[in-house]
Structure 1
Amino acid sequence: MADGYHHGNLRAAVLARAAEVIEQEGPYAFSLRSLAADLGVSHTAPRYHFGSREGVLSALATDGFTELARRLAANREAEGGFLESGVEYVRFAMEHPAHFQVMFAPSLLDQDDPALSAARGAAFGELRSGVASLADGVEDPAAGVVAGWSIVHGIATLALTGNLDSSGVRALLGDADLLAVTRRSAGLLFGSPEPPPSPAQE
């Protein structure tokens, strides 16, 4: 089975398997040796790409920040506004829970990894660009960005840990899906988007 992998796709396979394990059992539930066994390769093969378990987690975080930055940039380019950036943030967390978990756990990561630093910088650069979008409608735009990030990060974390449901808080909002919950909650700060016109109004 080891011969079935080449250096180009073993890296991707290791990251995919690590994400599966983290999503199910958390970031401490694997070793390079266990990932190699799961993939049917030599126990030294993952070390060639990542060096250590920390290297795997740092690579996952790098991929996560890269994808988050891409989504936030796409929203900005589509003039989606800061509120919709928050919605994209929560959507990313729901679709990539393992990445989200390790991205914001600095003790698990190699903080000197240049690729991680660059990807994180790009993602937070997109987040900071929200200051400009809030300049006309919020008294303190910089604090508004921090408040907005806190809300959407909190919603994502509460949802991923099950606390939003187990607390009964989500039930207060009826059957609204998580993105609708995000719009309603963050909308208290930044104003909910206008509802689409009814056919009679068009």
Structure 2
Amino acid sequence: MTNKPERDAYHHGDLREALIRAADTILAERGVEGFSLREAARRAHVSPAAPAHHFGSSAGLLTEVAILGFQELARHIDIERTAGNPTARLKRQGVGYVRFALAFPGRFHLMFRHELLLSDDARLAAASEQAKTPIAQTIAALRGLPEDAELDTGARAMLLAAWSAVHGFAHLALDGKFSGLTPEAGSAHLLEELLPEMLETLWPEPGS
């Protein structure tokens, strides 16, 4: 009697998780442009048809990785509300945002490539909202609003400015653009010195 193919050893949930892990690894190694369903299947030791069977399409599998990204981002920026004043908290969240991007570059680049994802996926929308909430609450506190209040026009503009600053910094860091500006462009220097100095310029402590 011949042995069954290795893929038959997977339970449904195990195979699903194996494919998500494989896709996540490919993105970390090769970036979004280097991803393919066939390569994900090869790394999970299953047939080329298996990813489409479980996720429907490349977008379905990539959406699962994007959800992981937003969940991890939320953990990086979820600072205790009692940890300093709102300005200090916002700066710590900014560092957490960039720290996430440097630690998970594949996920970071994927999360904002909406054309590659299932944009109407409810779980993706919920994970994205979860990642926005900690900074939105900090912005509300800075504006003197209840932390769970709907942001007014000024608060939304502040949120956009904060996101633009750290998102742009993260992209520049990942692209190696700081190497010409500072002799020490490693992650530790960027996170512990350059980024905090930039954030202090943008959001000085009250009374400073």
TM (normalized to structure 2)?
Answer: 0.79
Q: 1:183, CA displacement in angstroms? A: 1.0
Distance in 2 of aligned mates of 1:49 and 1:24? 23
1:169 corresponds to which residue?
A: 181
The alpha carbon displacement at 1:19 in A equals 2.2
Offset of residue 114 of structure 1: 0.8
Structure 1 partner of 2:202: 189
* Structure 2 portions without partners, runs of 5+: 1-5, 145-153
2:149 aligned residue: none
- State yes or no: 1:21 paired with 2:19: no
- 1:157 is matched with which residue? 171
- Higher alpha-carbon deviation: 3-12 or 111-120: 3-12
User: CA 1:6/1:173 → structure 2, altered by over 3 Å: closer, same or farther?
Assistant: closer
Q: Deviations over 1:31-79 (max 9, x none)?
A: 2222112221122222233111111111111111112123322x14452
**CA–CA distance in structure 1, aligned partners of residues 186 and 102 of structure 2:** 20
Change (3 A) 1:130 1:42: same
Across the aligned residues of Structure 1 and Structure 2, the Cα RMSD in angstroms comes to 2.5
Query: Structure 1: where are the runs of 5+ without partners?
Result: 194-202
Q: Matches of residues 72-91 of structure 1 in structure 2 within 5 Å?
A: 72-73=77-78, 75-77=79-81, 79=83, 81-91=89-99
Letter in 2 for 1:148: A
Query: Normalising to structure 1: TM-score of the pair?
Result: 0.81
Secondary structure in structure 2 of the residue aligned to 1:183? helix
Alignment match, 1:129: 137
Contact 1:93 1:100 in 2 (8 A): yes
SS in 1 for 2:120: coil
Going from structure 1 to structure 2, the CA distance change for 1:2 and 1:118 (only over 3 Å counts) comes to: same
Matches of 1:113 and 1:79, distance apart in 2: 34
Task: Give the letter aligned to residue 111 of structure 2.
Answer: M
Give 1:109 shift: 1.1
Alignment of 1:110-129 (within 5 A): 110-129=118-137
More displaced 10-residue stretch of structure 1: 111-120 or 23-32: 23-32
Identity among equivalent pairs (%)? 39
- How many Å apart are 1:178 and its aligned residue? 1.7
Counterpart AA for 1:26: G
Which SS does the other structure have where 1:28 is aligned?
helix
Separation of aligned partners in 2, 1:174 and 1:26: 20
In structure 2, do the counterparts of structure 1 residues 68 and 162 end up closer, same or farther at CA, with 3 Å as the change threshold?
same
Q: Which residue of 2 aligns with 1:199?
A: none
- Count, aligned residues: 187
Whole-angstrom distance in 2 between the partners of 1:135 and 1:17 = 43
